[in-house]
Structure 1
Amino acid sequence: MREVTAEQLREQGYRVLEADSGAAALRLLHAGARFDLLITDVALPGTINGRQIAEAVRQRYPSMPVILVTGYAPGDALSDMEVIRKPFSPEVLADRVRAKLEQLRTDAD
């Protein structure tokens, strides 16, 4: 799913950094990787889930837009973050990413 999502975003012209686990995502964050938006699945391999990654990113970058992807998490548990439910179409992904990045630019102005 990660690879398909990343490829869809690259086809839209976005530069994409990928991490194959929550720990790898945190390593990117702590290494100083620069990014404008976090997209993470709630369920990740390893002991760190996507919600925990999102919270770590928001501690470091409070205004960072976050999109959580899930196929099964109850809505209440994620109500304070943008959620895309699986399965989703490439168009839904593109629309949500575009909206989040436009919101980021508007907030910066």
Structure 2
Amino acid sequence: MSDKRTVLVVEDEEMLLSAVSMEFEDAGFDVLRAGTAEEAYDLLQGKAQVDLLFTDIRLPGQLDGWDLAERARAMQPDLPVIYVTGYSTEEPRQVAESVLMMKPYRMTAIIGAARRLGVG
């Protein structure tokens, strides 16, 4: 049993998904990866414990990052969430106790936000 924290990284851009995942791994996290909210939701339904949800807001498929976080919180009411987006035109639908960061972001800021949310 690992004492590492597990982060679910949801990002449809493969290069970003890989880069963010590596940064979280370097910071001592176990990482689950998903390219769509649907894929991430399936992982959440099958995974016992995720300690942090890191999701892009704009994702391909029927669900976006807002929807994913709401569904994740229905399963894990205390799950910390970090949203990222390159677009700021839509009205934020953040769940409570979450962080919204604009692209481009620095991974040091993301890891710092995770720590402020009590993860890591």
The structural deviation recorded for 1:45 is 1.8
TM-score w.r.t. length of structure 2: 0.77
> Which residues in structure 2 correspond to 1:8-87 (within 5 Å)?
8-74=23-89, 76-78=91-93, 80=95, 81-87=98-104
TM-fit CA distance, 1:101: 2.3
From the two aligned structures, give the one with the greater strand fraction.
2
**Contact preservation (8 Å) 1:36, 1:101:** no
Amino acid at match of 2:104: P
Q: CA RMSD in A?
A: 1.9
Structure 1 residue 75: Cα displacement:
7.3
| Number of residues of Structure 1 aligned to a counterpart in Structure 2 | 103
2:115 aligned with 1:98: yes
The more displaced of 77-86 and 53-62 is 77-86
Which residues of structure 1 form unaligned runs of 5+?
none
Distance in 2, matches of 1:65 and 1:93, equals 12
What is the alpha-carbon distance in structure 2 between the residues aligned to residue 73 and residue 66 of structure 1?
A: 18
CA distance in 2, matches of 1:36, 1:22: 17
Give the structure with the higher percent helix. Answer: 1
Partner of 1:3: 18
Would the aligned equivalents of 2:66 and 2:94 in 1 still touch at CA under 8 Å?
A: no
- Secondary structure of the 1:40 match is strand
**Which 4+ runs in 1 deviate beyond 6 A?**
none
**Offset of residue 93 of structure 1:** 1.1
> What's the CA shift for 1:76?
4.2
SS of match in other structure, 1:87: coil
